Structure formats: structure tokens, C-alpha cells
Amino acid sequence: MKDLFGRALLDYQNGNYTEDLITSTSISDEDVLPLPYLFRNYKDMPKLEQKALQLAKGQVLDVGCGSGSHSLYLQTKGLLVKAIDISKGAVEVAKLRGVSNTELKDLLDETQTFDTILLLMNGTGIFKKLSKVSKYLKHLKSLLKPNGQILVDSTDIKYMYEDENGGPDSYRDWIDAHSNYYGELDYYLSYNGEDGTPFKMLYLDFETLKAACETVGLKCELVLEGDHFDYLARLH
Ligand SMILES: C[S@@+](CC[C@H](N)C(=O)[O-])C[C@H]1O[C@@H](n2cnc3c(N)ncnc32)[C@H](O)[C@@H]1O
């Protein structure tokens, strides 16, 4: 699989920033994902991410660390952090930026245990499809030390289906026409004129996440809501 995301991070890290990433999804047109955003520091992070970092304690696993922004902040605060990602470029960049413990690893292959597990910037995206949520949650639960916590953010994207008048008509049409969950999207990336391999991305509304947590014996509490249907949840 092409690692366009990692290549873009490496270019930015190495001072070769010329273009941003272009994203689009099965339900939305092209959008720009500015590379500097992927290197944000604490004060430029959304308040949900800042809150997650404030709540982090003990040994921390940063899942899908990207360039390592969250790991770096926590490391500087003196916490022991392990950062994992399936993007080779991302892991290389996190290392270059000074994250001491990084590994090229899929979440499902992680076996150590942690006091805090972070999944940030639509953390449920990694679960890909609603049908896979239980599998991921069970695995995440197995990585928790006693009294450990999982901090995850996502967005209820129902608003993206609303019609121009603000009504939920097109959302209802969509529900009628599809049997799968409305937060399951196909996601496309391109960088420097090259298209990446499309992948699945899951946006999960809080109630659905909470119900899934209950089936695997995790408690799910709403920590904070953002300005645009986004939220931070704490699972324990
Ligand atoms: C939206 S980016 C977020 C990056 C970073 N957390 C941030 O906030 O800037 C999602 C990251 O998750 C990684 N990822 C996707 N699936 C993964 C998996 N199963 N295990 C570990 N990392 C994964 C991707 O390679 C990507 O770097």
C-alpha cells in the first residue's frame, strides 16, 4: 500500500513542504488537509485534544501517532509514551521529532498494557466499519492496566446528510437506501498529483460508541463536546 500520508509528513519534516494533502470521501468533495496542522503544538490543538492530553496519566499508548504531536507533548511533561502507527513515514517522522519510543505497528498487533490509550483526530477512524468496532474495543480493553482508560474522539457526521434547508430529508433517504451505518466512509487521499489507495474510515456518534462499549464490558463517558458535533469520550 502506498504511504502518501507518510511521504507528505516526511517532506514537511525535511523542509520540502510544497503542497498540502488533498482529501475527499464517499459523501464529500475535495478538501485540503494542511500539512502544518499535522505538526500542531498544544496551543493549536482543538480543545478536545487538549483535554485528552490533560487527562492522560501513567504509561501511555498513542495509537495512530502520525507525526507524534500528542506523544511529544506528553513526553515533555514526563510521561512514558509509546507511539505506534502503520505508516512507515509517520513513524520515521515521529522518531526524527524526538519521540523516544515509536514502533511501526498495527493496533491489533500491540500486546503491552497501558494506563492511558489515546486515539485522536477521529480516533474511531481506525476501526474502519461499524461491524469491526467490537473487535477493536475488545482488543483495546485487553491492553488496559487496572484503572486504565481509553481517550477517543470522533464526530457524529449525520449533519453531512442534511438537506440545504437544514432538514434531515437526505439523511433519511440515505438510511432508506443503505443498510450500512452512515458514519462509514470511503476515504481518498492525494498528494503531489498522486492518488493514494482508498481506505475505509469510521465516524461514530457517541450513543453508538457507548452501546458498543457496553457489549464488551467497557464504561463510556462523554468528557467534552466540541463546536461541530465532535466529542471526546473516556472508556474504562
Ligand atoms: C488521522 S491520522 C491522525 C494522526 C495523529 N494522531 C494526529 O492527530 O495528528 C490517523 C493515523 O492513524 C494511523 N493508523 C490507521 N490505522 C491504524 C492502525 N490499525 N494501527 C495503528 N495506526 C493506524 C494512520 O497511518 C494515521 O497516521
Cα of 152 vs centre of ligand 1, distance in Å, is 12
83 lines ligand 1 (CB under 6 A): no
185 lines ligand 1 (CB under 6 A): no
Question: 100: which 3 cell numbers?
Answer: 523516544
Smallest CA-to-CA distance from 210 within 223, 220, 202 is with: 220
Which H or E run includes 155? strand 144-155
53 lines ligand 1 (CB under 6 A): no
126 lines ligand 1 (CB under 6 A): yes
Helices of type H across 32-112: 47-55, 69-76, 88-97
Cα of 163 vs centre of ligand 1, distance in Å, is 31
87 lines ligand 1 (CB under 6 A): yes
Distance, in Å, from the CA atom of 100 to the CA atom of 74, rounded to the nearest integer, reads: 12
Note whether 191 and 22 are within 8 A (CB).
yes
52 lines ligand 1 (CB under 6 A): no
Note whether 35 and 5 are within 8 A (CB).
no
Q: Output the pTM of the full model.
A: 0.95
User: Which of ligand 1's atoms lies nearest the C-alpha of 69?
Assistant: 9
Tell me what pLDDT residue 162 has: 77
Distance, in Å, from the CA atom of 13 to the CA atom of 96, rounded to the nearest integer, reads: 8
Smallest CA-to-CA distance from 83 within 46, 122, 131, 120 is with: 120
Cα separations in angstroms, 157 against 66, 105, 115, 180, 203: 23, 29, 30, 14, 7
Cα of 153 vs centre of ligand 1, distance in Å, is 13
pLDDT above 70 as % of the chain? 93
Place of cell 456518534: 205
**What dihedral angle (degrees, nearest 10) is formed by the CA atoms of 223, 227, 230, 234?**
-10
Which H or E run includes 208? helix 206-215
pLDDT above 90 as % of the chain? 90
86 lines ligand 1 (CB under 6 A): yes
Place of cell 481518498: 188
Question: What average pLDDT does this structure show over 35-59?
Answer: 98
Distance, in Å, from the CA atom of 92 to the CA atom of 184, rounded to the nearest integer, reads: 29
Mutate to test the pocket of ligand 1, among 10, 73, 85 (most ligand atoms within 8 A of CB): 85
Instruction: Give the strand pairing for 28-33 and 59-63.
Output: unpaired
Distance, in Å, from the CA atom of 71 to the CA atom of 99, rounded to the nearest integer, reads: 7
Amino acid at site 88:
K
Residue nearest to atom 14 of ligand 1 (CA): 64
Residue nearest to atom 1 of ligand 1 (CA): 121
For residue range 133-184, list pLDDT tens digits in order: 999 999 999 999 999 999 999 999 999 987 666 566 666 666 666 668 999 9
For residue range 198-231, list pLDDT tens digits in order: 999 999 999 999 999 999 999 999 999 999 999 9
